[in-house]
Amino acid sequence: MADSDSDTKTEILEQGDIFFFYRPRVEEENPQGLEDVQRFGMVLRPHGGDKVRLMVVGRKRLPDPDEHERHWGFVETVAKSAKDIEKDLREGTYETKTRGQRSTPAARPAGEGVYVISLEDGQMHLSYELELPKHVREVQKSLRIAQKASYALSVKNPEKGSPPNAGLREEDEADYPKKLQEEFRGRRFDREDVELLDYEGAQFLLVGARTNPEQAYGIDLDAESADYEHADTVRKLHMVKSRHPLRPLFEGRWD
């Protein structure tokens, strides 16, 4: 437990490594801006755990903490290792009836660092601090990846309906065990149990909260400087330059 600047007790639920990525649009090998991005998300790798989550974030960027923006997202993949997650981020091809074979470019890493999921007054917060790139540049600014930030994190109850044209299809939503489903207690969102994110199809809401989580919640993110040799994106997530362009991660520049 830690004291924040408002004397509120903050409980640490989980901490680990965080990786931000984006995937360019189909056949777009040299993206130059947000308009060339198809999908944006993050990978959470908890310390001491046996699960790694690939999470897709809507609007192709993080919400603005200063404006308290709200962005929807979902857990696409839950794997036992970061290496298994990387396979989902590689280049792919598929066949279409009208255009023949099409190519889906490999995902590009756009940031790596450390994160903490904390609980404050019954509300989870996802806080992070970057270790790479060393300076936030054009890619990170477009994706709203700040040097550090915090977001209120809530998980949607799959038994409650979604707004029209929003959220996953019912058949794609998380299927929780009865005991875990009861955590919602009939509410539309759960704001306290991080275990709800350990299921594919879990839907979540991120709300921009703070730009200095360490000061706000009294947590220690312990971010450290890194280079190519020590980059967790390469060592732990296995996103090597032979499969994934790394310039956005190290230089903050588009391809």
Q: Please state, in angstroms and rounded to a whole number, the distance separating the CA atoms of residues 56 and 87.
A: 16
Q: Which amino acid is at 75?
A: V
Instruction: Please tell me the predicted confidence (pLDDT) of residue 1.
Output: 42
Phi, psi of 152 (to 5 degrees): -65, 135
Q: Report CA dihedral (104, 108, 110, 114) to the nearest 10 degrees.
A: 100
Tokens of 177: 């065990």
Residue partners of 237: CB distance under 8 A and separation at least 6: 19, 43, 45, 82, 83, 85, 86, 109, 112
Q: What is the pLDDT of residue 185?
A: 96
> Is the pTM higher than 0.85?
yes
Closest CA to 203 of 239, 250, 164, 154: 154
Domain residue spans of the chain: 2-243
Tell me the C-alpha distance between 253 and 112, whole Å.
15
Per-10-residue mean pLDDT of the chain, 255 residues long, equals 56 97 95 97 94 97 96 97 94 79 93 97 97 97 98 97 81 96 96 98 97 93 90 95 96 94
Q: What angle do CA 44, 162, 54 make, to 5 degrees?
A: 15
Contact between 193 and 155 under an 8 Å Cβ cutoff? The reply is yes
- Candidates 33, 140, 88, 77; CA nearest to 244 is 88
